[in-house]
Amino acid sequence: MDLNAPHMNFILACYIISAVVLVILTASIVIRSRQVEKKLDRLTAAGARRRRKADAGK
Amino acid sequence: MKLIGENLVCERGGRTVFSGISFTAESGELLVLRGRNGAGKTSLLRMIAGLNEPVGGQMELQGGRDDEDIALQCQFIAHQEAFKPAMTVAENLQFWSDFFGGGDILDALEAFSLEPLADFSAALLSAGQKRRLALGRLAMIDRPVWLLDEPTVGLDVNSTEQLRQLMRKHLDGGGIILATTHIDLGIKETAVLDFNAVDDQAELTSIGEAE
Amino acid sequence: MARFEKFANPTQFLRLQGFLQPWVTAITIILFVVGLYLSLFVAPADYQQKETVRIMFVHVPAAWAGLMVYTVMALSSAVAIIFRHPLADVAAKSAAPIGLAFTFLSLVTGALWGKPMWGTYWVWDARLTSMFVLFLLYLGYMAIWQAIEDPHRAARISSIVALVGFINVPIIKFSVDWWNTLHQPASVFKMNGPAISPSILIPLLVMGAAYSFLFLALHLLALKTEVNARKLRQMQLAEAGKV
Amino acid sequence: MKPVIAILKRDLLLAWRQGGGVGTAIGFFLTVMVLLPLGIGPDLGLLQKIAPGGLWIALLLSVLLSADRIYQIDYDDGSLEQMTLGPVPLELVAGAKAMAHWLSSGLPLAIAAPFLGFLLNLDTKLILPLLGAMVLGSIGLSLLASLGAAVTVGLRKGGLLVSLLVLPLYVPVLIFGISASAAGQAGPDISGSSFIILLAVTLVIVVVTPIASGAALRTFMR
C-alpha cells in the first residue's frame, strides 16, 4: 500500500474511525460487566455476613 | 358447576405476589377474598378473568361451557367503569350488549333504577351512578361466574341493597361469585379466602352453615 | 410468564460463557490481525479506484454484521415469544448496541468512500439508504427498553418490535432498490466493483469473520452482564421486600 | 363478527361526536403545506416537481400523529380490559379499531390531500392518480400507525417513540405510493405496476398489524 496515494486520508479515516468505535463499544461492554459483577459480589457478601450474624445470634 | 384453582402462583414485575393459592367455588356459592391491600386479591380476580397468566398452578371450570376458556364465562367488574363520556348511557350499554353478544339494556337500567338516565350523556353521571351503570352490566350479560372487585365502593345504601338482590338472584340461579370486599355484603359467604396468611400461603377457610 | 428466579439455564449459560469467552476472544484477535494485514498490505490496489478500494474491507463487513446482528435479534425475539425462554429476550437486548455500532460504521465508511468515488459524502445509494433505515430500526428497538420500566413488559414489547422490524427489512430493501433503479437507471459504479478477484475476496472474508467473532465475543460478555444484572435486580427486590 | 362491528360503530360514533380527530389532522396537514414552500421557496416550477412527494409526506405525518390516541383512552378507562373478556380475540379488536381509525381519519385525509395539491401547484392531471394511490396507501399508513399506538400504549413519551418506530416502516408505502401516483411522469408508465406492489405491501401490513397489536396490547394488560 503506498501511503501517498490520492485520498489516502479517507482510507486512514475509515480504518481509524472503525477502530475507535469498536474499541469504545468493547470498553463500554467490559466496564458495564465489571460494574454489575462488583455490585453483585458486594450484595452477596453482605447477605453472607448477615446470615453468619443471624446464625451466630441463634 | 365448579370453579377450581390449584396452587396458583402470581408474579408481577419480577416479584411473587402470591403462591400456592387453592380454592373451589360451586354453583350458588359466594367466595369472598379478604386480606391486606396488595396481598393479590385483585390479581387473583384478574388471573381468573384471563388478564394475567398464572406462573404456576392451574384453574378449571367444571360443568361450564367446556369449549370456551374460563375468561369467556366470567364477568369482571373492576374499579374502572369502562364508559365513554361522549356517548349516552343507553348507547354505552347497547355497545357492551352488542360486544358481549346480546342482553337487553333495560335489564341493566332497571337493576339499579337508572331508566331516567338512559338518554343522558355518560359524562353527566356521578361516580355512584357510573358505578351502578357498570354493575348494571351484570344484569344484562348472562355469564355464570362473576368476579367483583370492591363492588360496593361508591354505592349508597339502597344501591348496595339492589346489588345484594342481584347477587342473591345470581347465586340462586346457580351462578358463582368471587368478590373482594371489606364490608359485609349481607349474603352468607359460603367460604372466605384469606390472603393474610403467613408468607403468601393463603388458605381457604370455609365458614359453616351457622349464620 | 418467564420464570426468572429459576436459574437452571442461566447457570448453564454462565458455565458455557465462561468456557467459550477466552477462545472466542482469542480467535477474534487473530482474525483481526490477519485481516488487517491482508487488507492493508497484501491486497493489490484496484486499477480503477487505486488504494481507496481498501475502504471496502471495513465497510462491507460492517454492513454485513449489522444485518446479521438484527437477524440474531429477530430470531431470539421469536424464541422469547414462542418458547418464553428467559434468556432469549435478554440476548436480543444485549445484541442491539453491538448491531447499532456495526450499522453506524457501515454508514460512516460508506459516506467516506463516497467522497473519493462520487465527490459527495452522502449519496442516496440503495444499499446505504437501506442501511440507514436499519440504523433507525435499531434506534427504535433500543428506545423501547428506555421507555418501559418493567423489564418483563419491555422484553415482550421489544420482541414484537424486533419481529415486525425484521419482517419489514426485506420489504424495505426491495422497495429502496426499486426506488434506486427508478431514479438512477444504472449507477456507474457498483458498491463492490464488477467482479471480486480472489485477492480482494480473501481479505474481505477474513475481515467478515473477524467482525462476526467480535460480535460473538461481545455478545457473550454482554449477555453475562444482563444475567448478572437480572440476578442483582432480583436480590435487591428481595432485600427491599424484607425492609 | 358482531362484536367487531360493534367496536367499529362505536369508534366511528366517537370520532364523529368528538369531531376533533379529523379536523386537527387536516389542520396539521395544511401546516406542512405552508412550511414546504416557506422552506423550499415560492418557485412554482420547483414546487410542482416536489408536489406529489410533499403531499405524501404531509399525509403520512398527519396520519401518524392522529393515531397516537387509538388505544390510550380505552386503556385508561378500562374498556380494553373488558374487551379482553369479549368473545373475539384481542387481534380482531385491534383490527376493528385500526379500521375505525382509517375510516375516521386516514381516509378523509387521503381524499382531501390531492385537492389541497394546488397549494404546491400540483399538476391537475395528477390529482386522480394521486387520489387513487393515497386512498390505498392510507390503509397501510393508518394500520402501521395504530400498531405504533398499540406498542406504546400507557407510555409517557409515547408520541415520540411511535414516530421512531413507525416511520421506517412507512418507507415501502411512501416509495410505491409516490411512483403509483406519478402516472407516467418518470419514464415509461410504471404507476400501474407500482400500484399493484403498493397493494401487496398493504396486504402484508393488514395481516401483520392486528397480530402484532394484539400481542402488544395483551402485554400491557398484564
CA–CA separation, B193 and B195 (whole Å): 6
Q: Which residue has the cell 408520541?
A: D159
| HSE-CB of B28 using CA atoms within 13 angstroms | 3
- Count of domains forming chain C: 1
Is the pLDDT assigned to residue C227 strictly greater than 80? Answer: yes
CB contact under 8 A, D3 and B71: no
In a domain, C20, yes or no: yes
Query: Which string of DSSP letters, residue by residue, matches B46-74?
Result: HHHTTSS--SEEEEEEETS-TTS-GGGGE
D-chain residues near C165 (CB < 8 A):
168-169
Q: Which of residues 174-193 of D touch C (CB under 8 A)?
A: 175-176, 179, 186-187, 190
CA–CA separation, D4 and D100 (whole Å): 10
CA–CA separation, B25 and B145 (whole Å): 10
Residue D202, chain C, CB below 8 Å: the answer is: no
Interface residue of D165, D213, D222 to substitute, partner C, most C CBs within 10 Å: D165
Is the pLDDT assigned to residue C202 strictly greater than 90? Answer: no
pLDDT value at residue B208 = 34
C-chain residues near B15 (CB < 8 A):
237, 241
Interface residue of A28, A36, A42, A43 to substitute, partner C, most C CBs within 10 Å: A36
CA–CA separation, D97 and D100 (whole Å): 5
Query: Which string of DSSP letters, residue by residue, matches C127-176?
Result: HHHHHHHHHHHHHHHHHHHHH--SHHHHHHHHHHHHHHHHHHHHHHHHHH
Q: Which three cell numbers stand for residue B198?
A: 403467613
Determine whether A2 is exposed, middle or buried from the number of CB atoms within 10 Å of its CB (0-12, 13-18, 19+): exposed
Mean pLDDT of C31-38: 89
In a domain, C165, yes or no: yes
In a domain, C1, yes or no: no
Query: Taking a C-beta distance cutoff of 8 angstroms, is the pair D130, D114 a contact?
Result: yes
Interface residue of C17, C25, C55 to substitute, partner A, most A CBs within 10 Å: C55
**pLDDT tens track for B135-171:** 988 888 888 899 999 888 888 888 888 888 888 888 8
Is the pLDDT assigned to residue A49 strictly greater than 50? Answer: yes
Q: Which residue has the cell 415482550?
A: C156
**What confidence category does residue C5 fall into, taking pLDDT thresholds of 50, 70 and 90?**
very low
- Count of domains forming chain D: 1
Helix (H) or strand (E) holding B203: strand B203-206
- Could you tell me which residue, C141 or A58, shows the higher pLDDT? C141
pLDDT value at residue A58 = 53
Q: Which three cell numbers stand for residue B178?
A: 368471587
**What confidence category does residue B118 fall into, taking pLDDT thresholds of 50, 70 and 90?**
confident
Amino acid at A3: L
Mean pLDDT of C86-101: 92
pTM above 0.95, yes or no: no
CB contact under 8 A, D175 and C175: yes
Query: Taking a C-beta distance cutoff of 8 angstroms, is the pair B12, B52 a contact?
Result: yes
**What confidence category does residue C187 fall into, taking pLDDT thresholds of 50, 70 and 90?**
very low
Three-class DSSP category at B16: strand
Mean pLDDT of B57-85: 84
Q: How many CB pairs under 8 A join B and D?
A: 68
pLDDT value at residue C220 = 94
In a domain, C152, yes or no: yes
Alpha carbon separation from B141 to A56, B144, B145, B177, D107 (Å, rounded) = 62, 10, 11, 15, 35
Residues in chain D where the model's pLDDT stays below 50: none
Amino acid at C144: I
Pairing status of strand B2-12 against strand B56-62: antiparallel
Is the pLDDT assigned to residue B13 strictly greater than 60? Answer: yes
Is the pLDDT assigned to residue B200 strictly greater than 70? Answer: no
CB-based contacts of C215: which residues, under 8 Å, 6+ apart? Answer: C65, C68, C69, C95, C98, C99, C102
Instruction: Look up the domain containing C42 and give its range.
Output: 8-186+195-242
Instruction: Look up the domain containing D30 and give its range.
Output: 2-221
Q: Which CATH number fits domain B2-85+145-206: 3.40.50.300, 1.10.1370.20, 3.90.320.10, 3.20.20.70?
A: 3.40.50.300
CA–CA separation, B194 and B34 (whole Å): 5
**pLDDT tens track for D46-83:** 888 888 999 999 999 999 988 877 898 898 888 999 99
CB-based contacts of C47: which residues, under 8 Å, 6+ apart? Answer: none
pLDDT value at residue D188 = 58
